[in-house]
Structure 1
């Protein structure tokens, strides 16, 4: 890509203003990047989208994004165009070195009108390696065989599967990015390490040797500083493991809890975050007063599903965090139409962000979150989940989904300079 410098953090020259898109009943049109309603403030739309652009083998995503004609890529790109966020985290976007996949997705899909929507340009992007598919060299699932996705540091059949990317209309300060891909689970004080129920010893699912290499993050945790109107907003991006696909030891459920806890600790200044060390060897979390937004598919619902009790409450109840409670009418309709597990859920379906199997479980859940710091005033929020009568519902559809089983979640905040 000649216009973008190929690197782990991909940056390009800022291009022209972005036209707003119409979202129909699902969301209000976004304010153009960098606009201000009053002096010293910038209105910012931040989104997270697990767009399920993961592929089954290395090279497949690059092949699909090289054509400009891949049906799924066109559909998820149109959703992003219609939501028109200023910053968006993409989950389940395979990691490709040098930012090639991010370049292709922007060039061939986002910057080309999809379904009549206005193109959207993201001059700045950040991508970095993921723990998914990286061999651990150990039998982490204790099935007697070493190898395969379940024995990788994060589940994946090849390195980088289910990765992440941050796209932004505002400059990314790549010199200050912090990654925590290599942080060890055992180094979290009070970590919920899984226990082998067949033995008398506590917290012994992983051997001492395995704990010396076992990473906390199933993908990675990133602190990506974005410069917005003279202020820095820290984009805290992650994708904790699903709290399923394990046994009585609940190793994935416990890991999910602690991956979520990582950010709760990170945004708490002082002793609570002092244990955290990034991949460059620097310690500690955010400083008091720093602005942030926690983004990602957290794979945890406050009331339903298989996550450890109160896993997501570590963020929703945090004194430095605002929960904007994004909603959609489409989620309410889907729960009613699909029935099954949805009929027994405790949570209000209007907050759901993922359309999961309803028979027998888990049903639709709130899994995806945009959680700003309290200094960022929330002005609006929503979930891109149109009702069936809306023509845009063709973008979300029903199983097998034309886009993803997750919905784009967006929050509008006002950033003070």
Structure 2
């Protein structure tokens, strides 16, 4: 039976300006990092600008990154990586909420911090910090579910900050309108030769960032809980088309994303362990790297001086047998320099039995 590779990679600030032209040193390095992995069948890339939201109606950044970088071998010993299709969901980043979320006066000028703070998710302009999912196999476009507009207040036992003494909080009116996902949560069915696999993708708020910690930390916790509930067929989720309910318990899935949370992290009340790693429907993979082991942090997926050391996850459902896994953070000095030039994160991959 054929094995399949699922991978997740947060490529720092993958902007339209960089990706729409060849020869960007950072993106050549990022593509090299992908090409040194076991060849991915499914790859989620975080922090890719959605240039269609920005009004760029020619080539989407997802297609440009594939054409300009991933398909081109980035070293003599490498081969390009190709995919049949991709999906880039709309995200909440940079979308004006019409509310004074930042509690510093309504920001109306794109590009300013005040504008970013008052969006449904912090960003200086629409489409910033979005994502793209690549697949070697067909995506069932009619079966895709997105939860971008799911209201935070509709999450049972939510942790919305309401204390007006805090730096950032939501008023009663704002709670009726504010969305939970920082970018989106998307369920993307992919038609593998052995049957459908649901790629459940997300990128929750960084809990300690943007000067909005009192909002971001509980939001990160609650979005992770939403994902854990969704893959265990909770009844409360509703998608952007109005369809209700979670993922059926007989469906195979893989959760992929930069979750901005590490096991044991107190700022998110260890949400990643409670709702995903200990989830009875999830195989708690623990990818590691040679460089991480040398530094005493084997499972680190990001630069050690910035935020959670383990932030990126590829978590298959229990129907899959995990063959191997890893973090693309090498000990070789030259390759390590490539990795750190590419991003402040390292790619994570998991190989599973196709079943």
Q: What is the TM-score of this pair, normalised by structure 1? A: 0.78
Tell me which stretches of 4 or more aligned residues in structure 1 moved more than 6 Å: 246-249
| 1:105-124 alignment, distance < 5 Å | 105-116=65-76, 117-124=78-85
In structure 2, C-alpha distance between the alignment counterparts of 1:261 and 1:385, rounded to whole Å: 29
For each residue in 1:140-164, what CA deviation from the matched residue of structure 2 results, as whole angstroms up to 9, or x when unmatched? 1212343411111011101010000
- Name the CA shift for 1:332/1:228 in 2 (closer, same or farther; >3 Å): same
Displacement of 1:65 = 2.3
- Name the CA shift for 1:161/1:192 in 2 (closer, same or farther; >3 Å): same
For each residue in 1:362-410, what CA deviation from the matched residue of structure 2 results, as whole angstroms up to 9, or x when unmatched? 5x611000000000110000000001x353222113xxxx111101000
Instruction: State yes or no: 1:65 paired with 2:19.
Output: yes
- Name the CA shift for 1:123/1:136 in 2 (closer, same or farther; >3 Å): same
Instruction: State yes or no: 1:372 paired with 2:316.
Output: yes
Of residues 119, 128, 148, the one that matches 1:152 is 119
Instruction: State yes or no: 1:267 paired with 2:231.
Output: yes
Of residues 37, 47, 59, the one that matches 1:92 is 47
1:92 aligns to what SS in structure 2? Answer: strand
Of residues 174, 178, 186, the one that matches 1:214 is 178
Alignment correspondent of 2:327: 383
- Name the CA shift for 1:81/1:247 in 2 (closer, same or farther; >3 Å): closer
- Name the CA shift for 1:247/1:167 in 2 (closer, same or farther; >3 Å): closer
Instruction: State yes or no: 1:405 paired with 2:348.
Output: no
2:223 aligns to what SS in structure 1? Answer: helix
Alignment correspondent of 2:209: 245
Contact map agreement 2:169 2:214 (CA 8 A) in 1: no
Mean Cα deviation higher: 240-249 or 211-220: 240-249
1:351 aligns to what SS in structure 2? Answer: coil
In structure 2, C-alpha distance between the alignment counterparts of 1:197 and 1:206, rounded to whole Å: 8
Displacement of 1:176 = 0.3
Contact map agreement 1:180 1:278 (CA 8 A) in 2: yes
Alignment correspondent of 2:111: none
Of residues 31, 36, 40, the one that matches 1:82 is 36
Displacement of 1:53 = 3.5
Contact map agreement 2:194 2:354 (CA 8 A) in 1: no
Alignment correspondent of 2:128: 161
1:312 aligns to what SS in structure 2? Answer: helix
Contact map agreement 1:185 1:214 (CA 8 A) in 2: yes
In structure 1, C-alpha distance between the alignment counterparts of 2:311 and 2:237, rounded to whole Å: 25
Instruction: State yes or no: 1:133 paired with 2:133.
Output: no
In structure 2, C-alpha distance between the alignment counterparts of 1:94 and 1:198, rounded to whole Å: 35
Could you list the runs of 5+ residues in structure 2 that have no partner in the other structure? 109-114
Alignment correspondent of 2:152: 185
Contact map agreement 1:196 1:249 (CA 8 A) in 2: no
Displacement of 1:100 = 1.2
Contact map agreement 1:301 1:307 (CA 8 A) in 2: no
In structure 1, C-alpha distance between the alignment counterparts of 2:226 and 2:175, rounded to whole Å: 17
Aligned-CA RMSD value: 1.9
In structure 2, C-alpha distance between the alignment counterparts of 1:75 and 1:392, rounded to whole Å: 9
Q: How many residues align?
A: 340
In structure 2, C-alpha distance between the alignment counterparts of 1:249 and 1:301, rounded to whole Å: 16
In structure 1, C-alpha distance between the alignment counterparts of 2:304 and 2:31, rounded to whole Å: 21
In structure 2, C-alpha distance between the alignment counterparts of 1:257 and 1:88, rounded to whole Å: 24
In structure 1, C-alpha distance between the alignment counterparts of 2:272 and 2:259, rounded to whole Å: 8
Displacement of 1:246 = 6.4
Of residues 289, 293, 299, the one that matches 1:351 is 299
Contact map agreement 1:293 1:371 (CA 8 A) in 2: yes
In structure 2, C-alpha distance between the alignment counterparts of 1:154 and 1:246, rounded to whole Å: 10
Displacement of 1:198 = 2.2
In structure 2, C-alpha distance between the alignment counterparts of 1:255 and 1:113, rounded to whole Å: 40
Contact map agreement 2:207 2:213 (CA 8 A) in 1: no
Alignment correspondent of 2:63: 103
- Name the CA shift for 1:246/1:169 in 2 (closer, same or farther; >3 Å): closer
Alignment correspondent of 1:9: none
